[in-house]
Structure 1
């Protein structure tokens, strides 16, 4: 008999909006810990899994990789001080700022391409074509 805070993988999938395969993948890769099993052998998920999956979804939407999410969850599982987590967030902000800088350079390059004469663009494109035989 399941308690009020226990659910199957299918129920967890419905409540989180993730597929059962995604939840299984998170378990297989260690992002989520393996759940306990009931007497029938089925996996039993608690509300703690809901919290963890909501964290994973939020972190992914902010650009964190699954590896970074796993490392953060492992830190949260330990008695980690807030300063450690703050440092992780600061590092992510620096990474995002670097990506923004790279994207701005790419944007400027593409904008410059639009200002280039059409004939010059066609000549440039011709350098990539195979010579006709």
Structure 2
């Protein structure tokens, strides 16, 4: 298949590893733009959809919500030039760095919990129980 050929939803599903039902869901929820239609009424997808589906799968794997992915894809589509794209990427990298800092903080907290004596851990656990059960 050359870069200019179009695919049906089933072909796109096979090539991307994303089910046809999931592709339909992404279209219905606006995460993916509606594809063009052939004379027979079938949806026809360009190679660009493979790139978009890979992006969606990768960002879902990182824990992004579909709502956020939809917004990111919209912003990417609105970028007028490479300066706009670079600005968007820098903003996203800043957000990721904040997430990394939070995860490192949580990792340290959990590590401290593992190295804390049993009595202190029991007292800590008690703070989460309802007042009447203590």
Bucket of the pairwise TM-score, normalised by the shorter protein: 0.7 to 0.9
The match for 1:131 is: 133
Task: Tell whether the 8 Å contact from 1:13 to 1:19 is kept in structure 2 after alignment.
Answer: yes
Task: Tell whether the 8 Å contact from 2:79 to 2:85 is kept in structure 1 after alignment.
Answer: no
5+ residue gaps, structure 2, are none
* Rg larger for: 1
C-alpha displacement of 1:28: 1.2
Q: CA RMSD in A?
A: 2.7
Task: Tell whether the 8 Å contact from 2:35 to 2:44 is kept in structure 1 after alignment.
Answer: yes
* CA offset digits 1:61-94 (Å, max 9, x no partner): 5665544443444455456111111111111111
Task: Tell whether the 8 Å contact from 1:9 to 1:45 is kept in structure 2 after alignment.
Answer: yes
Task: Tell whether the 8 Å contact from 1:72 to 1:85 is kept in structure 2 after alignment.
Answer: no
**TM-score for the superposition, normalised by structure 2:** 0.75
Distance of 1:79 and 1:90 partners within structure 2 = 13
Task: Tell whether the 8 Å contact from 1:16 to 1:54 is kept in structure 2 after alignment.
Answer: yes
Cα pair distance change 1:59/1:107, threshold 3 Å? closer
5+ residue gaps, structure 1, are none
Distance of 1:53 and 1:85 partners within structure 2 = 19
> How many residues are paired up?
129
Greater shift after overlay, 59-68 or 8-17?
59-68
